[in-house]
Amino acid sequence: MGDTDAALRAEALERLLVEKGLIDPAHLDGIIEMFNTRVGPMNGARVVARAWRDPVFRQSLLHDGSSAIASYGFEGGQVDKLVVVENTPDVHNVVVCTLCSCYPWALLGLPPKWYKDPAYRSRIVREPRVVLREFGLAIAPQREIRVWDSSAEIRYMVLPMMPDRLRDADDATLLDAVSRDAMIGVQELT
């Protein structure tokens, strides 16, 4: 198996670097701990839930995403510039990085495996309606699709449409309703 080979190669690298005193295993553990506990799609969900109930924040988020989220102080990766794109009844947005796997870590954590795999990266720019159906999402032919290929340091996040059932929901319910996949654009919330 290819990934078993890679795992052994990686273990060799780590051991050699540690033995030479070039890295400290405690640093590795600290990074893993941060990503396991403080970085993840719960951060993006907070931003989306607030945009749903606060029209002023929503406007500022869509106008200048980086400034709008600055006060949160999210960890886990530099987002020099965040662009938030809004799904509407007429437009569906979906995010990819065809060249590597760029993704807004600070808001969504690390990307799912499928986001990094060749199938998604090769096909979503060419036949997104087919790919989205594989995720169980049917986008009507007359609804425009915009695919954002993150080819530089701008990071993209989708602002999903709020389901009608949540119109009077409290903050906790809103937060709970937002999924990572909806913020990538491969799911719609119902």
Partner 1 sequence: MDGIHDLGGRQGHGAVDVGAGAAIDAVWEARVFALVQVAFRAGFIRNTDQFRHAVERIDPAAYLTQGYFGRWTGGLETLLVEAGVLDSATIDSRARALGLPDNARIAARPRLQPDRIPHPPTTFHNARSLATQPRFAIGDAVVTCCHGTSTHTRLPGYARGRHGRVVACHGGWVFPDSNAHGHGEDPQYLYTVAFSAQTLWGEEADPMLSVRLDLFEPYLEATGDTDG
Any idea which residues carry the catalytic annotation? Answer: 97, 100-102
2 contributes a contact to partner 1 by CB under 8 A: yes
Query: 3-state SS string over 10-61?
Result: HHHHHHHHHHCCCCCHHHHHHHHHHHHHCCCHHHHHHHHHHHHHCHHHHHHH
Dmax over Cα atoms in the chain, in whole Å? Answer: 60
Of 49-57, 75-83, 162-170, which segment contacts partner 1 by CB under 8 A? 75-83
- Residue 17 tokens read as 């670097």
Site residues (CB under 8 A) for partner 1, limited to 38-67: none
Site residues (CB under 8 A) for partner 1, limited to 109-148: 109-114, 116-123, 125-129, 131, 134-136, 141-148
Contact 51, 58 (CB under 8 A): yes
70 contributes a contact to partner 1 by CB under 8 A: no
Binding residues with partner 1: total (CB under 8 A):
72
Quick one: which of 51, 150, 162, 177 contacts partner 1 (CB under 8 A)?
150
86 contributes a contact to partner 1 by CB under 8 A: no
Comparing CB distances to partner 1, the nearer of 83 and 178 is: 83
98 contributes a contact to partner 1 by CB under 8 A: yes
State the Cα–Cα distance between residues 90 and 85, nearest whole angstrom: 13
Comparing CB distances to partner 1, the nearer of 114 and 169 is: 114
- Residue 140 tokens read as 């009507």
